[in-house]
Amino acid sequence: MKLAALLMLVTCCARATTFYVTVAGLGGEPEYEQRFSMWAGEIEAILKSSGGDAQIETLKGPAATRANVRTALQTIAHEAKPDDALVVMLIGHGSFDGFDYKINLPGPDLSGTELAALLDRVPCARQLVVDMTSASGGAITALRKENRIVITATKTGSERNATVFPRFWVEALRDPAADTDKNETISALEAFHYAQQKTAEYFDEQKRLATEHPILEDTGKGEGVRDPSADNREGLRAAAFPLIRIGVSNTLANNPAKKKLLEKRDQIEQEIDLLKYNKAALGPDEYKKKLTALLLDLAKTQQELDQ
């Protein structure tokens, strides 16, 4: 992808309304029912405490039906605009028969193919799907699409054990340590890295063979990778996707004047990331000139925010 095209991608990434839909599917056993519902409730509470424009819907327990998921996404399809963003988070048990993935819900299950069709009708140019169920890796082929970030708890549909990834995804949304660049915004990529690392540490500490390997796909073409980087061209959109604000930025996001400055800061930081991502394609002088201009603009914007 050319640098000019990447910069156009950033331009449309200013924070507008973000629609969040969290679905906690069937547990099958009381322990899992409680766990899935708890994680979904924690995500909802974290999102509601974050600043900015957000529309939040959580479906869990008897309400987490295929019909209700369809209704939620169809409603968003009518209300959302192209510059808005959509985040869909799936928690629970999943299955994969070698052809199609399904999340287990009360009543009929929802397939990856059907979910993809529903998402395709939502006009939001920026979409993030975080499928945290078992066998979720089997959904990559159905869900991947240009401008859509797909994160799954497992690398294939054959990893069928109940997952711990959602536990650490929730932690990523509330732990300042997930904000590795310290800009008080946790991106989709930062949350992925945090939850992925914590998942690996969990199995190491338990001295157990890992039964899940989270992956990310955001090019619309790949099979998903465990280590997104400039080398494999994965992770660029995820790095530019602001998932949740924390700290002072959370408070400032509720101030209309400061909110515009926060959006400008986000855009400049994303342009810097894109520039570094494509450093090899530029001459040294051109790279230094562009980087210096962006850093000066970032410093000026931060100064205005601090006033």
Instruction: State residue 276's pLDDT score.
Output: 65
Is residue 273 predicted with pLDDT exceeding 70?
no
- pLDDT band at residue 3, thresholds of 50, 70 and 90? very low
Within a domain: residue 7? no
Per the structure, the count of domains in the chain is 2
Same domain for 170 and 194, yes or no, is yes
Q: Is the per-residue pLDDT at 79 higher than 50? A: yes
Find the domain containing 179 and state its range: 16-248
By mean pLDDT, which of 23-32, 75-84, 118-127, 276-285 is the weakest?
276-285
Task: With a cut of 90, say whether residue 293 has pLDDT above it.
Answer: no
Q: Mean of the pLDDT values across residues 90-119?
A: 97
Residue 5 has pLDDT above 50, yes or no: no
Q: Which residue has the higher pLDDT, 184 or 63?
A: 63
On the question of pLDDT at 4 being above 80, the answer is no
Question: Band of the pLDDT at 305, cuts 50, 70, 90?
Answer: low
The pLDDT of residue 127 is above 50: yes
Residue 152 covered by a domain = yes
- How confident is the model at residue 241, as a pLDDT? 92
Same domain (yes/no): 282, 172: no
Pair (241, 265) in one structural domain? no
Mean per-residue pLDDT, 145-160 = 96
Are 260 and 111 found together in one domain?
A: no
How is residue 24 written in tokens? 């906690």
Q: Which of 248, 269, 295 is a domain's end point? A: 248
At which of 232, 248, 264 does a domain end? 248
Percent of the chain with pLDDT over 70: 85
pLDDT for 9 equals: 46
Using alpha carbons only, give the angle 124, 130, 131 rounded to the nearest 5 degrees: 125
DSSP per position, 48-84: HHS-S-EEEEEE-GGG--HHHHHHHHHHHHHH--TTS
Q: Are residues 205 and 272 in the same domain?
A: no
The pLDDT score that the predictor gives to residue 231 is 81
Name the residue type at position 247: G
Q: Is there a single domain that holds both residue 193 and residue 213? A: yes
Q: What is the mean pLDDT of residues 28-54?
A: 90
Burial class, 194, CB count within 10 angstroms (exposed 0-12 / middle 13-18 / buried 19+): buried
Task: State how far Cα 170 lies from the chain centre.
Answer: 12
Judge whether 87 and 20 are in contact, CB under 8 Å: yes
pLDDT (0 to 100) of residue 10: 47
Report yes or no on 4 lying in a domain: no
The DSSP 8-state label assigned to residue 173 in this structure reads H
Shared-domain flag, residues 171 and 274: no
Q: Are 149 and 241 in contact (CB under 8 A)?
A: yes
